[in-house]
Amino acid sequence: MLWIFLSAGAAGFQVARNSLQRGLLPAAGPWGATLVRFLFGLPFTLVAIAVAFALTPGAAPHVSTRFWIAALAGAAAQVGATASLLVSMRRSSFALGTCFQQSSLPMSALIGLIGFGDKLHPMTWAGIALATTGLMVLSWPRQGAKDWSGAWFGLASGCGFGIATNGFRQAGLALDGAHPVLAGIVTVGVVQAVQSVGLVAYLAMRDRASLVAALKSWRESIYAGLFGSTASAMWFVALAMAPAGPVRAINVLEIPFASLAGRRIFKERMTLRQRIAACVTAGGVIMSAMG
């Protein structure tokens, strides 16, 4: 049951990190704001790795080809998903972007089933169907609205996070199934290092202004890195303990957290239809977790 508490804690830290990243969008753009999550979180993750090794004396994670394939695939998917999520939050709202992100639930479950043989309870599938229905209602724009981009970017982020979730779970299992905590945290460190190097190189070649803006915002970025690193560590360890679908299901807690943050920080409001759809989505996710 430890994975449930870890997943719930990760949800709170993820909302805090996302709110800080969203604030960086005007100056750093989506890729610069995405970078701070990984670059400024890496030092904290390295500390967590050192602690994990100290608590598991004699442990020696086995790095294999399977690990690298899964970790790199998950890393690439997470980068794209993070940038899509931030754009969605800017074009719709902070809370709605978080709701759209929950489309990672059906994606995680389907990929886990088809690709890796994860077995899920019938109630889990019923919950996935309910959550998907809620997401479809949320994705439908208001009457007269012409801009669907916020919803599309949000759903794209969910697909990317679904792929990343399974990639990270398989990477952790390939690294060392006997020590899930160590495997999860080491996987976080490897993935964040790859993502940081890749994004810095890309921005240095294609968009130096965004890179400079991200580095200049180091005061906000440090907190985004701390919250992101803490969330990732908790999330990766949970993935090493349980199938990807149920782990993602616990992230339903992001919806009320994000709704509160959207009202308090960004002065946003959700319509009655959106609130009902968000509750339907949350109910489906909770059913999935209970399955």
**5-14 tens-digit pLDDT:** 888 888 889 8
pLDDT band at 72 (very low <50, low <70, confident <90, very high): very high
**Highest mean pLDDT of the ranges 75-79, 130-134, 216-220:** 75-79
Sign for the CA dihedral angle at 242, 245, 248, 253 comes to negative
How far is 63 from 21, CA to CA, in rounded Å?
Answer: 32
Distances (CA, A) of 157 to 14, 105, 137, 234, 241: 14, 11, 17, 20, 24
Contact assessment for residue 72 and residue 237, using Cβ atoms and an 8 Å cutoff: no
What is the share, in percent, of the chain residues with pLDDT greater than 90?
Answer: 15
The better pLDDT of the pair 262, 91 is held by: 91
How far is 118 from 102, CA to CA, in rounded Å?
Answer: 19
Question: Distance from first CA to last CA of the chain, Å, rounded?
Answer: 13
Query: What is the average pLDDT across 98-125?
Result: 72
Query: What is the average pLDDT across 149-153?
Result: 78
Q: What does the pLDDT read at residue 68?
A: 94
Q: How many structural domains does the chain have?
A: 1
Q: Quick check: 245 pLDDT over 70?
A: no
Determine which of 16-25, 72-81, 198-207, 238-247 has the lowest per-residue pLDDT on average: 238-247
Contact assessment for residue 48 and residue 185, using Cβ atoms and an 8 Å cutoff: yes
Residue 54 sits in which domain range? Answer: 2-290
How far is 207 from 84, CA to CA, in rounded Å?
Answer: 17
